[in-house]
Structure 1
Amino acid sequence: MLRALKGYPAAVRLLLFTTFTLTMARAITLPYLVVYLSTHLGLSVGQTGLLVGGAMLLASMLSLYGGHLVDTLHSHTLIVACTLVFAVAFLGIVASTSAALFFCFLVIAYLAQTVVDIAAKAGFCALLPENQRGEVFAIKYTFNNIAWAAGPMLGVLLIEADDHLPFVVSALIGLSLSLVYYRLGERNLLSLREERPAAGFTQVALGMLRDRRLVCFTLGGVLSAVVFGQFTAYLSQYLVVTLNDPAEVARLAGYLVTTNALAVIGLQYLIGRRITRQHLMPWLMAGMAMFVAGLLGFSVAASAPAWCLAMLVFTLGEIIVIPAEFMFIDLIAPEHLRGVYYGAQNLSNLGAGLGPILVGLALGHVVPVTVFCLLIGSVLLAAVFYWMGTRRARQA
Structure 2
Amino acid sequence: MSVDTKAAQSTSDFAAYRNPLVSVTMASTFFLKLVSFLCIPFMTIYLSKNVDAPLYVIGVIVGLSQIGSLTAGFFSGMLADRVGKRLVLLVGLFGSAFVFLMFFLVATFLRGSALFPVVFGLLNAGYGVMSAFFWPVTQVLMADSLPKERRPAVFRHRYVLTNFAVGIGPPAGALLGIASARAAFVISGCSYLVFAIAFWWLTRGTRFGFSAGPTERRSFTGALKVLAGDRVFRGLTVSMILFTLAYCQIESNLSAVVNDGFADGVRFFSILLTVNAVAVIALQPLATVISKRLDPRRTILLGNGLFTVVCLLFSLVTFGKAGLIALVVLVSMAEVLVVPTVSVVVDELAPPTMRGTYFGAATLRNLGLGAGPALGGLVLAFLDRGLLFVFMGLCGAAAWAVVHLTLRENPGAHTDPSSEPV
* Structure 1 counterpart of 2:295, from 279, 288, 293: 279
Q: State the 1:283 CA deviation.
A: 0.9
Change (3 A) 1:186 1:308: farther
Amino acid at match of 1:179: I
SS at match of 1:12: helix
1:130 aligns with 2:161: no
Pick which of 185-194 and 323-332 moved more.
185-194
Aligned twin of 1:208? 227
SS at match of 1:232: coil
* Structure 1 counterpart of 2:306, from 290, 307, 311: 290
Aligned twin of 1:312? 329
Checking the alignment, whether the CA contact within 8 Å between 2:304 and 2:396 is kept in structure 1 is yes
1:225 aligns with 2:244: yes
1:352 aligns with 2:361: no
Checking the alignment, whether the CA contact within 8 Å between 1:277 and 1:327 is kept in structure 2 is no
Q: State the 1:3 CA deviation.
A: 6.7
1:5 aligns with 2:20: no
Aligned twin of 1:144? 162
* Structure 2 counterpart of 1:110, from 116, 122, 128: 128
Higher helix share: 1
Give the superposed CA RMSD: 2.6
* Structure 2 counterpart of 1:330, from 327, 337, 347: 347
Give the Cα–Cα distance (whole angstroms) in 2 for the partners of residues 162 and 345 of structure 1: 32
Amino acid at match of 1:213: V
Give the Cα–Cα distance (whole angstroms) in 1 for the partners of residues 180 and 227 of structure 2: 47
Overall identity of the aligned pairs, in %: 23
* Structure 1 counterpart of 2:265, from 239, 249, 261: 249
Give the Cα–Cα distance (whole angstroms) in 1 for the partners of residues 279 and 387 of structure 2: 27
Aligned twin of 2:420? none
Change (3 A) 1:213 1:162: closer
* Structure 2 counterpart of 1:366, from 360, 380, 383: 383
- For 1:143-194, what per-residue CA distance to the aligned partner results, in whole angstroms no more than 9, with x for missing partners? 1111101211232245459821111211111111112222234641437997
Aligned twin of 2:173? 155
Amino acid at match of 2:266: A
Checking the alignment, whether the CA contact within 8 Å between 1:18 and 1:177 is kept in structure 2 is yes
Amino acid at match of 1:354: A
Give the Cα–Cα distance (whole angstroms) in 2 for the partners of residues 293 and 107 of structure 1: 38
Checking the alignment, whether the CA contact within 8 Å between 1:87 and 1:175 is kept in structure 2 is yes
Amino acid at match of 2:269: A
Q: State the 1:302 CA deviation.
A: 2.7
Pick which of 54-63 and 248-257 moved more.
54-63
Change (3 A) 1:175 1:163: same
Give the Cα–Cα distance (whole angstroms) in 2 for the partners of residues 219 and 55 of structure 1: 22
Aligned twin of 1:33? 43
SS at match of 1:28: coil
Choose 1 or 2 for highest CA Rg: 2
Checking the alignment, whether the CA contact within 8 Å between 2:93 and 2:192 is kept in structure 1 is yes
SS at match of 1:391: coil
Checking the alignment, whether the CA contact within 8 Å between 1:276 and 1:327 is kept in structure 2 is no
Aligned length: 393
Give the Cα–Cα distance (whole angstroms) in 2 for the partners of residues 383 and 374 of structure 1: 14
Aligned twin of 1:43? 53
Q: State the 1:7 CA deviation.
A: 4.5
